[in-house]
Amino acid sequence: MAQEISVLFVCTGNICRSPMAEGILRHLLDSRGLSDRFRVDSAGTDDWHVGESPDPRSVRTAARRGVVLGGHARQVQPDDLRRFDYILAMDREHMAYLRRLQEAVGGKARLHLLREFDPQGGATAEVPDPYYGGPQGFENVFDMLERACRGFLDFLQNTDLSADP
């Protein structure tokens, strides 16, 4: 059996963007029959919301699209850089934080901005934080995350998933 691929999504508080991305990727993996080949999680760079459920606006937005969000917010830990194959950041600030942490503790994780995999994004595109906006911001962020997660899976299809199961 092929080795499990581990993916961690990172935003600021782990209640809006990263749990949505986690839920979307899990949903896409289920639909492609790949769930057993992945470990997916999310975390935040800050500890403001540790232990809280995802933001209700994220939950509602995802539910309207058939995606279930669960779990509780947690903060990125140094060991995450060693335990995960891919860590996907929502913006450049998160990326800078993760790079500093990786320089300090090491680790095998490949760090990327998530929107690198969005066909409408690019190497420096970010996922904006919808926290202080209205419902449309959550809808727009969901669309970005879904495109980026699909692009990420397509990327993996040509790299890590090409190994025989």
User: Which of 45, 28, 46 minimizes the C-alpha distance to 37?
Assistant: 28
3-state helix, strand, coil in the chain (%, to 5): 45, 15, 40
User: Which of 92, 4, 81 minimizes the C-alpha distance to 43?
Assistant: 81
Question: Does residue 36 have an active-site annotation?
Answer: no
Report residue 25 CA to chain centroid gap.
8
In the 3-class helix/strand/coil scheme, how is 24-48 assigned residue by residue? HHHHHHHHHCCHHHEEEEEEECCCC
Question: Does residue 26 have an active-site annotation?
Answer: no
Question: Does residue 80 have an active-site annotation?
Answer: no
Q: Given the residues 46, 85, 129, 143, select the one marked as catalytic.
A: 129
Q: Given the residues 16, 17, 41, 57, select the one marked as catalytic.
A: 17
Q: Given the residues 11, 16, 57, 118, select the one marked as catalytic.
A: 11
3-class SS at 146? helix
In 12-95, at which residue ranges do the beta strands (DSSP E only) sit?
Answer: 38-44, 86-89
For the annotated catalytic residues, the residue numbers are 11, 17, 129
